[in-house]
Amino acid sequence: MDLYELGAAAAANAIAEGRISSEELVASCLARIRIEEPRVQAWTFLDPDYALQQARAADEWKREGKTLGALHGVPVGIKDIIDTQDMPTENGTVLHAGRTPSEDASVVRMLRAAGAVIMGKTVTTELATYAPGKTRNPHNAEHTPGGSSSGSAAAVAAHMVPLALGTQTNGSIIRPAAYCGVIGFKPSFGLIPRHGVLKQSRSLDQLGVFARSVEDAALLAAQIIGYDERDPDTRPRAKPPLRDIAAQEPPVAPHFAFVKTPLWNKADPESHEAFAELVAHLGEQVEEFRFPPAFKEAWKWHQTIMEADIALNYEQEYAQGKDKLSESLRGQIERGRKLRAVDYNKALDEIPALNAVLQELFEQRFEAFLTPATTGTAPRGLESTGSPVFCTFWTLCGMPAITLPLMRGANGLPLGVQLVGPRGGDARLLRTARWLIEQVQAG
């Protein structure tokens, strides 16, 4: 096995035990990037010499007998809306070209403390919205990788790095992970601090991770969960034991709610058939659940919040460089500028009510909601990043979500299965996800 094929946990263990060095691992990943990057184009900034310099420093740290972090010597890709003080952070727009922040984002600082090698910056769509970047789907370069965390998903899928960070305000982790056939995990709102991350919507912005296994997703997420006084939506709390619980067997077989959502007609016929087969395979472990009629408005509430916040937070970009923005982003900003404050505040007020109803369902009936991650496999063409409609509701509610590469379309491209848990139920969701993978693989 080439070292670039190692998962993060396996690589960290091999480095800690002295079976491989960080320099060897990073060099193998860089060799893989040299082969795959011309086709996939996942990176917006990569300095191979600097990556190797970090790896050598990690190896020297180990030789000196110092305490090793959980990700010691393991390379991680960072979405290019997450600040890095030693690399540019350009947010996917020419308006921020050459921008190098004065300090690391909180999550980057936490990764460095865990010993990770910050490999480089991965491509994002324009200001983390809908206008695509240069990245292509590793499974078929004529298809979109999804967005906005395009480069992070593609880099992990193409085995350029074992781990990467992304963000989600609508479907920007789950969708590209599903299209690229990797694990995408978005923890509960407020678990991961957002200081130093491009602000699109305080009420909706959430960070998450890309990996090739549930174990690795738990490992990475565990390093970046924590309180930061500069993010008012985090709070002091004990860290959830993601890795330990994810590795456990559930005390009883999980019971799933199959949720089509009111937008089931948006999913293509192939997805309908694939999910029917999955539900049949799970048998008594799953039952269909229909949203209450009032939930149908949730997609509109999300749009109201997101577009109003985009209009506020990208006001400077619009004022100074309107002609440099994509048509889609200008449209979002202009719609957001016209929204009424009463509608915006009403939409925000609906979030706790939605979560109260859902929390009761989790407590009484279900371990997780099972639902599509996307409308189908990655669409052909690079003009769009695909539809986020099967992510919108869960992002609005701030619930933990994970997509699993359990199925494939007739075209051979991945078709993701999304699991959603209650807010705060992140560790149990990971455990349930690992259980489901094992059940499907067992046939």
**Region 1-443: CATH code:** 3.90.1300.10
pLDDT of amino acid 123: 98
* pLDDT above 90 for 377: yes
Give the model confidence (pLDDT) of 266-282 as tens digits.
Answer: 999 999 999 999 999 99
pLDDT of amino acid 285: 97
What strands lie across the sheet with 286-289, from one edge to the other? 43-46, 117-122, 75-79, 163-168, 206-211, 183-186, 401-408, 414-420, 368-372, 256-259, 286-289
* pLDDT above 90 for 183: yes
* pLDDT above 80 for 249: yes
**Pair 119, 82: CB distance under 8 Å:** no
Give the model confidence (pLDDT) of 89-98 as tens digits.
Answer: 999 999 999 9
* pLDDT above 90 for 36: yes
**pTM for the full predicted model:** 0.98
* pLDDT above 80 for 175: yes
pLDDT of amino acid 440: 94
Catalytic residue list: 79, 148, 172
> What would the mean pLDDT of 304-309 be, rounded to a whole number?
98
pLDDT of amino acid 420: 98
* pLDDT above 90 for 141: yes
* pLDDT above 80 for 247: yes
* pLDDT above 80 for 361: yes
> What would the mean pLDDT of 370-386 be, rounded to a whole number?
98
* pLDDT above 80 for 443: no
Instruction: Give the pLDDT band of residue 313 (cuts 50, 70, 90).
Output: very high
Instruction: Give the pLDDT band of residue 66 (cuts 50, 70, 90).
Output: very high
> What would the mean pLDDT of 136-142 be, rounded to a whole number?
98
Closest of 41, 336, 71 to residue 217, by C-alpha: 71
pLDDT of amino acid 5: 98
Share of the chain above pLDDT 70, in %: 100
Share of the chain above pLDDT 90, in %: 99
pLDDT of amino acid 255: 97
Instruction: Give the pLDDT band of residue 1 (cuts 50, 70, 90).
Output: confident
Rounded mean pLDDT of the chain?
A: 97
